[in-house]
Structure 1
Amino acid sequence: MGGDLIITGGVPLNGTVRIPAAKNSVLPLLAASLLCSGTVRLLAVPQLADVDASLVLLRGAGCTARWQGSDITVQSMPSVCRLVPEAAAQMRASILFCAPLLARLGRVETVLPGGCRIGARPIDLHLSGLTQMGAHCCEEGTRLILTAPAGLRGADITLGFPSVGATETLLLAAVCAQGETVLRGAAREPEIVDLAAFLNRCGGCVQGAGTGTVRVQGRRVLYGCSFAPMADRIVASTLACACAAAGGRVELTGCAPAVYAPLLEILAQMGCGIETGPESAVIVRSGALHGAGRVFTGVYPALATDAAPLLAAAMLCADSVSSIEDVVFERRFACADGFAAFGADVQVQQRTLHIRPVRQLQGAEAAAPDLRGGAALVIAALAARGRSRIADTGHIDRGYACFVQMLAELGAQIEREMPCGSTCEKKTPSKKQI
């Protein structure tokens, strides 16, 4: 969508938001649809830039993929073994489309995947696992060519790190391979459980998803199904941190608090009131926000790496020091320069962001450096006094659908200023919300 975000901060957030489906679940599910002989229907999918890029990849492979209202239907008959380079280079998740095409066609060509520049994100775990399953890998500059002349076969694979992407790639390869695959050291994230549930609904046999050891009995053909992806725990985390930073009372529904519990626990330690139910959480911040001390991200079930910049934005408003270290990506805090523009006292040392208290954040101009860092700058702007402008919002649009509307319905004074004199997408609170 693009355009700058114009935000007048200092307004508490109040209201209820139903959390949309998770981008980090939808993208691997769209890749998995390549394995299915019948129609796949994903329900209530958010309209995100990365979702549109995924549809380009599916259509480029010869499939029919289209929106039907808020749902997406895919009829998978892949005939082209080359992923559209422009779409593949746009996002990290394009690597997930390789294993299904390799399983169906025996060959796939792509470019090395793109995405946010938050640090090294190698695909060696993906490739070494596929090699153990019978694939041949060849890199020619930025091109990657995978072949499986004898088909994929089950293997006993141990991941050196519980990579979410590698776990998803190898599940997608194993579910249609010959024989059994045992994946040890697997990622345990809820999105892995969601992918396994989808594959099983389509006729696959995946056991142990959500634990460190996953077993897959290969099947030759999967059929289609209708499936509702899980709610987006990172969007929920974003809104929880926005409430903590700006103040107010926000209820988040449709997303189990258990999947982002570490973030809620830290916000509670910082002085927020937190009430949780099976599928909802209420965040209240009416008094002072306190520093969190030293905080670390980690693999699930620890604090999610994607939540690190969001939580850091809330920490900017605390009355004592905090530090947050991301153990996954070395450049997770590219948003630090933007924080400093708001008057925050921040310092990055290697993978750690150190935050000292300031009297008040001030409105400023800043540019989104990446997806979650851009959302963190929006949170800072909501807490700052005065008017702010956030540029390079295309990063934010990759992971947040209707972000302006979502925040405005909570009372935020926010609008999107489109380039070249286009009409603003204005969203201000209604009298009822005030």
Structure 2
Amino acid sequence: MKKLLVAGPTRLSGTVRIHGAKNSVLPILAACCLCCSPCVLHNCPDIADVRTALAILESLGCKARREGSTLCIDPTGLDRHCVEPRLAGKMRSSVLFLGALLARFSQAELALPGGCPLGDRPIDLHVKALSQLGVRFCFEEGRMRAVWHKRLDGDIRLPLPSVGATENLLLACALGKRTVNITGAAREPEIADLIGFLRAAGADISGAGTSSLQICGVSRLHGATYTILPDRIETATYLCMAAGCGGETELLRCDARLLLPVIECLREAGCEISAESDRILLHSSGKLLPLLPVSTAPYPGFPTDAQALLMAAVLKAAGVSEFRETIFERRFLHVPELRKLGADIQVAGSTARVRGVRQLHGAKLRAEDLRGAAALLTASMMAEGESELTGLCHLLRGYEKPEQNLKNLGASIKSVDIPAPFVYNT
């Protein structure tokens, strides 16, 4: 177990290369189960959730090999439809193997998924949609078993634009001679990326980037070589860190078009941002203007994953900022920890009001979720004195080498071992 020691305040200046999107590579790794020959995926981040997905693939009989940022997946040995509970419980995205295994074996069994504790994140939308296509479910002691007795054509209307449900439908229906139309589908770039991979493997899917998708199942998918798109949330993270701390930071191998709402908010807060092709340059004085209000929304709206990041950036803004969380009801887990640094934040239901303070001070902090961990790290770099951040397992689920990247930007940060508790034996 490790913790981060962060000394602030600090300005961030330099260059960061953005990695491939966590929320693209995870469903695409599950999609490799549908292929009958090896797949090669470029621009894959080396993060904990990806390592968990690779462990799941290997437990199912696939072979996986990493060469730098390239993953080579050989699914020809896939012979099991049950995901081990110890692996499924580590991350939310393990639920995507439901659709993939249903497509391959007409049955799947896995524990209910783990991941960040962001409140009520049921999989009922997945279950209801797949049930309409002939899948029967059984739930018992934290496990789920699904059997596809008869594959049906169908018109599925999702009541909410659920990213996970949309991905599971794509995975489940890409194989098999059936046609499925989805309306109300999520429009996130990562879904378009999944569709891009599936089409490269021979799938017949139309409507990428829209809320209406048509899946015409095919009899087989072949292997494919594919490059994962840049991670828009990692991009937003370093932009918010640089905005709050001040400095001039250049981000490479990114795509500004994927996070226009975040860039717009940072510009409103007083940052100077220029973007071209795969490069973004941000200049910030560190003295930001308040934002009122910022409401999270499904893509192309402001991403819920960036809410905590932007909140941390404006903790010292001169005035009151307001954040409205419309996606997850427990997305303010970072607020009590930010208050330990001296932040003035009031929460009422799904709204948080941040009154900027002149100074933050170091504190001992514990992260409870992935993006909250990045927000606490941001605020720690803005605070006077030293902060300790534990719960790094959350941070490392979604960021590759964050400590080294921040050191390269000038941050005073280091990881140290947490001593094991002393046990007195009589």
Q: TM-score range by the shorter chain?
A: over 0.9
Residues 1:132 and 2:132 aligned together: yes
Ranges of 4+ aligned residues in structure 1 off by more than 4 Å: none
Q: Deviations over 1:166-185 (max 9, x none)?
A: 00000111111322111100
Residues 1:141 and 2:141 aligned together: yes
Counterparts of 2:163 and 2:362 in 1: how far apart (Å)? 37
Residues 1:331 and 2:330 aligned together: yes
Residues 1:239 and 2:238 aligned together: yes
- In structure 2, the partner of 1:37 is 36
Q: Using the aligned pairs only, state the percent identity.
A: 41
Query: How many aligned positions are there?
Result: 419
Q: Does the 8 Å CA contact 1:290/1:320 hold for their aligned counterparts?
A: yes
Q: Deviations over 1:115-138 (max 9, x none)?
A: 101111111111111112221111
- In structure 2, the partner of 1:110 is 110
* AA at the equivalent of 1:226: T
Counterparts of 1:163 and 1:67 in 2: how far apart (Å)? 31
Counterparts of 1:354 and 1:313 in 2: how far apart (Å)? 12
Q: Deviations over 1:372-423 (max 9, x none)?
A: 00110000001111111101110111001101011111111111112349xx
Q: Which stretch of structure 1 is more off in the superposition, 377-386 or 347-356?
A: 347-356
Q: Which stretch of structure 1 is more off in the superposition, 175-184 or 326-335?
A: 175-184
Q: How do 1:157-196 and structure 2 match up within 5 A?
A: 157-196=156-195
Counterparts of 2:350 and 2:119 in 1: how far apart (Å)? 10
- In structure 2, the partner of 1:381 is 380
Q: How do 1:288-303 and structure 2 match up within 5 A?
A: 288-303=287-302
Gap runs ≥5 in structure 1: 422-434
Counterparts of 2:287 and 2:5 in 1: how far apart (Å)? 26
- In structure 1, the partner of 2:389 is 390
Counterparts of 1:255 and 1:133 in 2: how far apart (Å)? 38
* AA at the equivalent of 1:189: E
Residues 1:252 and 2:251 aligned together: yes
Residues 1:295 and 1:363: Cα distance change in structure 2 (over 3 Å): same
Give the TM-score of the pair, scaled to structure 1.
0.95
Counterparts of 2:406 and 2:331 in 1: how far apart (Å)? 24
Task: Return the offset for 1:288.
Answer: 2.4
Q: Does the 8 Å CA contact 1:185/1:213 hold for their aligned counterparts?
A: yes
- In structure 2, the partner of 1:86 is 86
Counterparts of 2:234 and 2:286 in 1: how far apart (Å)? 24
- In structure 2, the partner of 1:346 is 345
Q: How do 1:181-330 and structure 2 match up within 5 A?
A: 181-286=180-285, 288-330=287-329
Counterparts of 2:176 and 2:309 in 1: how far apart (Å)? 40
* AA at the equivalent of 1:180: T
Task: Return the offset for 1:8.
Answer: 0.8
Q: Classify the secondary structure of the residue corresponding to 1:293.
A: coil
Residues 1:69 and 1:270: Cα distance change in structure 2 (over 3 Å): closer
Task: Return the offset for 1:287.
Answer: 5.7
Task: Return the offset for 1:10.
Answer: 1.3
Q: Does the 8 Å CA contact 1:153/1:177 hold for their aligned counterparts?
A: no
Residues 1:6 and 2:14 aligned together: no
- In structure 1, the partner of 2:100 is 100
Q: Does the 8 Å CA contact 2:14/2:248 hold for their aligned counterparts?
A: yes
Q: Deviations over 1:332-371 (max 9, x none)?
A: 0100011101001111211211111111111111000111
* AA at the equivalent of 1:156: D
Q: Does the 8 Å CA contact 2:243/2:286 hold for their aligned counterparts?
A: no
Gap runs ≥5 in structure 2: 421-426
Q: Deviations over 1:6-55 (max 9, x none)?
A: 11111110111111001100100000000000101111311111111111
Counterparts of 1:73 and 1:254 in 2: how far apart (Å)? 22
